[in-house]
Each structure stands twice: as structure tokens, then as C-alpha cells.
Amino acid sequence: MRGCWDDSAVQGRDVAGGPRPRRRGLRSGQLEHGPRVEEFEAVLGRRLGNPRVATVNCGTSGLHLALSLFTGGPEAAATPDDPGEVLATPLTFEGTNWPILANGLRVRWVDVDPHTLNADLADLERKIGPRTRAIMLVHWLGYPLDLDRLRGIVDRAERRLGFRPPVIEDCAQAWGATYRNRPLGNHGNVCVYSFQAIKLLTCGGGGLVVLPDEELRRRAVLRRWFGIDRRADRVHGDYDVAEWGFRFPMNDTAAAIGMANLEIVEPLLARHRENAAYLDKELAAVPGVELTERAPDREPSFWAYPLKVEDRDGFMRRMTEAKIMTSLISRRNDAHSCVAAYRTDLPGLDHVYDRVAYLPVGWWLSEDDLGHIADTVRAGW
């Protein structure tokens, strides 16, 4: 049985009757800086309902780029000896948090809400202070944060501190997720999607930064390519870099793959949700199992299916014996030695971390697969 993610999700092959990637990008001879990227961006903007987008070569580059737009930070908090800190969750893949270090900033860990596995917003509000440069939060497994509550917290921080900490939403696992019937990327923050090979919408590799205003979009587009305006006349060296940047652009090959996969992603997303609803129903009353939150004002993408279980080691052994892939996905980030200086008490995470396991829920599961998962969990471990 395939696992929580599936390498055949690089849907360049004919998946679910969908088309193969368009070949005209390869035949054009223009594999980078060609028209496919702009075409892909336009379609993504329409799909999200926000045209202010900039594709990048991966989601982690997108987070790095997004954070770099704010590294000047509130001047009241910036000193040479104190670069400031970013509030972040430790229950995520390391690709979320290492861009904080790459931007020369400190990490301040926010506790985890055991009901959602997302950041504990009450703890977040307590920790916003004069040294806060940004807030970097994750929609873990594609389950959206309570963005209205988050906006209220940032509003209060702005009144208290005299500056508004920018919010960056890591939407790596959340393509198709909505909060109050609107796609993520429409709630006033910077959002970053991943189009990695194992994501629901994939380019084989790539990402997307979604911006709340046109000035940030303009800067992001420049900074993803060294700060150079590619429309400027560079033949005679007559151009200026006002704000240096990186080499983070998406190439045309990736954009062509993404365009093909956009044509089939909606039914795949629907399958994820149908499969999750089936598991919700079948596992709700199983002894030793606790489901995570399902709030009515948001629709997750279900990149994987989380369960809180008693005796996680025994649970995972039983799933492995039954040829059902289960995984911890990533280690809690605050446990790594490279961030030892930032360790702090996180009772919510401590309470839930050793109980969480993840099951497959993706579009590739058959009815028999789903029944096998449910029967195996119900039988105990």
C-alpha cells in the first residue's frame, strides 16, 4: 500500500485519465525565463483569487524570500547585537524554520495546540513583543489556522507595540484548503505554497509566494532574481540593482508540469477529502484513538491524516505489519542541536508529540485500501 505521500504524484504520467505535461515548453528551447512561468502565474492567481503571486524554485526558497522582505523589521527593535526574532512552530518540517536562521534571525518557539496540531494562538499572543520581526506559522497537513483570530491578535499587538509584525503562512501542504470559503492567500498575509514532487499540486519542484499588496509583489519578483529587473535594457549594462536578491526563480519546465497538473488537481483534492471523511467516520469511536479538530469554517486539504493514539510505537508496528505506511513526517524542530539555544517549555507540544502518528489519505487509495486501514486500526495494536 502506498503511503502518506506517493512519488507517482509527480503527475507527469497519465494519472486518473489526466493529460501528460505539455511538451511545447521543452521544444521551445527556452527552459528558463520563458513565457510558461508567466502563464502559470496568471492561472494560479485566478485560481486563488489573488493575482499578486510570484513563483519560485521551491517552497523553502519562497519562505526565505518572503521573510527577507521584512528583515529590516520595525526599527524600534533592530540593533546590531539583536537581530530580532521570528515566532514559529516547532511541529513542522525543518524547511519552515531554517529560513529564519538563514536570514540571521532568532527563533522563538510557539507552543502547539493539541486539538489542531497548529500553533497555539494564545501562546503566540503572549510571546509577541518588541523583538518580534515576523510570525511564521504553518497550516499543518493542510488544516487552516483560525485566521480571523490571528488577525485580532496581530491587531492588538500593533496597538500595543506601535508596529505590526508581518505574518507569513506556510501553506506547503495546503493547496486547495480554504478558510471561510476563501483560498489561503486572501487574508492579508504573505502565503507560501510548495509544488514539490510529493505535494498535491506538483511541478516536480517549485513554489509560490502570494502577496497581500502590489509593492510586496514587485519586490518579490525582483528579489527572486538577484534584484535585477529582467525587462531592463541590460545589453549595454544600463540597469541598476536597488535591492539585492537571490537566484530563486521557477523554470519553464516546472511551470509546464504545473500547468498540466492544474487540469487534474481538483478531483484529486476531492478524493483526499472524501477519504478523510471516511476515516473520520470509521475511527471516531475506536478506543485509544483521538481525532484532531474539524472546524466548520475551514476546509482542509488533508495532505496526510493525523491521529492521536495510545502507545504510538505499538500502533506504528501494527500498521507496518499490515503494510500500511505510517510516519512521524519530521522531528520536532526544537529538538535539533542547531537551535538548542532557543529551547523553551512547550507543554502543549510535549503533551501531544509522542501520541501523533500519520496515516495515508491520498487520492491513490482504493476503497479496499481505506477499508483495510479502518479495519486494522479498529482491531487494535
Of 355, 349, 351, the C-alpha closest to 313 is 355
Of 280, 253, 327, 276, the C-alpha closest to 6 is 327
Q: What structural domains and CATH numbers belong to the chain?
A: 7-262 (3.40.640.10), 266-379 (3.90.1150.10)
Question: Which residues of the chain are modeled with pLDDT < 50?
Answer: 1-2, 4-22, 73-78
Q: How far is CA 23 from the centre of its chain?
A: 29
∠ CA 42-174-168, rounded to 5°? 80
Q: How many CA atoms lie within 13 A of 100 on its CB side?
A: 28
Of 93, 158, 77, the C-alpha closest to 125 is 158
Q: How many CA atoms lie within 13 A of 304 on its CB side?
A: 25
Q: What is the pLDDT of residue 72?
A: 53
> How far is residue 151's CA from residue 155's CA, in Å, rounded to a whole number?
6
3-class SS at 24? helix
Q: What is the pLDDT of residue 11?
A: 40
Phi, psi of 262 (to 5 degrees): -60, -30
DSSP 149-214: HHHHHHHHHHHHHSS---EEEE-TT-TT-EETTEETT-SSSEEEEE-BTTSSS--BS-EEEE-SSH
Q: What is the pLDDT of residue 237?
A: 75
Q: What is the pLDDT of residue 230?
A: 83
Specify the DSSP element, H or E, that contains 272: helix 265-283
- The pLDDT tens digits for 64-84 are 999 999 985 443 344 557 789
Question: What number of residues does the chain have?
Answer: 381
Helix axes 214-223, 59-68, angle to 10 degrees: 120
> How far is residue 43's CA from residue 361's CA, in Å, rounded to a whole number?
27
Could you say which DSSP state residue 300 is in? Answer: -
